Amino acid sequence: MPRTGVAPDMTAAAPQQRPPARRRRRRTAALLVCVLALVAESALVVVRLAGLDTGTPLAVVVVGLPHAAVAGVLILLTVAALRSWWLTGIAAVLVVVELVWLVPRFIADDVSVPNGAPRLRVATVNTHVAKVDAGALVGLVRRERVDVLAVEELTSKAGSAFDRAGLAELMPYREAHPEAGSAIYSRLPLSGGGLLHRDTTWPQPTAQVFLGGRGVRLVAVHTFYPLGNARRWAQDMKALRSEAADDARDTVFLGDFNATLDHASMRDLLDTGLTDTHAELGHGWAPTWPAHDSRLPPLIQLDHVLHGSGLVAVSVSEHTLPGSDHRAVVAELASAGSTS
């Protein structure tokens, strides 16, 4: 009787084939995710290059450019590890473009402060609709020896609270307009005060102090927010640009611009001859919003101190105040020298 043979197990080798197949599927999935991320990053770069954010909802998206650059580096490393050379080339180009925009902000300008130049310490605080702690605000002014303070989202009630907390003694001079939501407080005498005659959503207070015998004009800035109405925000930024274009040599614009250096409107404003203090000093990463939740670090820099060519930055710092959703910015400026 013939022996019945046992049929060979044809599935024995199958498990050895599964890992390569699984790896291929994982690689394909990873590449797909990278492609989608590169499409989004490319779109953001195009928006920034073409200035498509001005007056459009894309203004909200542009604020994420620094974060996109970090993600872009990770994508570049990932697609290179996956040996997808076309995607590696695309990712590399995007990263290079973003670094060209971002790296200069981390390199301090080669500008020296003249010996013996008079100095002015300024600060800007957004009160978060009067929710900021008055004692903390006054403490900041005292501790940082602030000469001029710009306050946004001010109310009459908040102004009274600040004075009760000691601001009246520290800064007896003021150009306060709670009906407009902003004010300029000063340790030094103010002159030429009032509101800018520009088409802005909220009137912008302005006043002048004297620094080493030369007048320095200050503008407390608070623009509308792009998330609420991008066109109105763009109009506010355009109005500030018109103001700066007249003569900004000895002018300081400080406050809540609701804009980053990646917004076309902000770059247009800087093109008038203004300098961003953070970028001038190489402080390329100084997010100021949101600052009201300790579980979430600030992600975006909306608050700035911009100055004309008649001044030079000495220092700049950010400070968290209880109750405010913005970090306060304190900057020390010095006279750049002769006006001739």
Number of domains forming the structure of the chain: 2
Last residue of a domain, one of 40, 73, 105: 105
For the chain, how many residues are written?
Answer: 340
The strands making up 191-195's β-sheet, listed across from edge to edge, are 191-195, 205-211, 214-222, 251-256, 303-307, 275-276
Both 197 and 212 in one domain: the answer is yes
Give dist(CA 331, CA 10) in Å, integer: 76
Indicate the pLDDT class of residue 16, thresholds 50, 70 and 90.
low
More confident residue, 27 or 164: 164
Question: In this predicted structure, what is the pLDDT of residue 6?
Answer: 55
Both 118 and 62 in one domain: the answer is no
Both 161 and 284 in one domain: the answer is yes
Residue 205 has, within 13 A of its CA and on its CB side, a CA count of: 30
Question: In this predicted structure, what is the pLDDT of residue 9?
Answer: 57
Residue range 260-290, pLDDT digits in tens: 999 999 999 999 999 999 999 999 999 999 9
Question: In this predicted structure, what is the pLDDT of residue 261?
Answer: 98
Give dist(CA 77, CA 92) in Å, integer: 9
Residue identified by tokens 């007048």 is 215
In a domain, 9, yes or no: no
Quote the mean pLDDT of the chain.
94
One-letter amino acid identity for 143?
A: R
Neighbouring C-beta atoms of residue 287, cutoff 10 Å: 18
Give dist(CA 183, CA 286) in Å, integer: 24
Both 220 and 93 in one domain: the answer is no
Question: In this predicted structure, what is the pLDDT of residue 340?
Answer: 44
Question: In this predicted structure, what is the pLDDT of residue 125?
Answer: 99
Residue range 56-86, pLDDT digits in tens: 999 999 999 999 999 999 999 999 999 999 9
Q: What is the CA radius of gyration of the chain?
A: 27
Q: Is beta strand 119-126 parallel, antiparallel or unpaired with respect to 148-152?
A: parallel
Indicate the pLDDT class of residue 1, thresholds 50, 70 and 90.
low
Both 182 and 73 in one domain: the answer is no
Is the pLDDT at 87 greater than 70? The verdict is yes
* Domain range for 43: 14-105
Question: In this predicted structure, what is the pLDDT of residue 11?
Answer: 52
Both 134 and 263 in one domain: the answer is yes
- Six token digits for residue 71: 């993600």
Instruction: Work out the average pLDDT over 296-302.
Output: 96
In a domain, 5, yes or no: no
Instruction: Work out the average pLDDT over 192-204.
Output: 96
Both 221 and 322 in one domain: the answer is yes
Report the CATH number at residue 238: 3.60.10.10
Question: In this predicted structure, what is the pLDDT of residue 108?
Answer: 97
Q: Are 150 and 254 within 8 A, CB to CB?
A: yes
Produce one character per residue of 186-211: b if its CB has 16 or more CB atoms within 10 Å, e if not.
bbbebeebebbebebbbbbbbbbbeb
In a domain, 310, yes or no: yes
Residue range 101-154, pLDDT digits in tens: 999 999 999 988 989 999 999 999 999 999 999 999 999 999 999 999 999 999
pTM of the model: 0.91
Give dist(CA 336, CA 166) in Å, integer: 33
Question: In this predicted structure, what is the pLDDT of residue 294?
Answer: 81
Indicate the pLDDT class of residue 100, thresholds 50, 70 and 90.
very high
Instruction: Work out the average pLDDT over 297-317.
Output: 98
Both 127 and 205 in one domain: the answer is yes
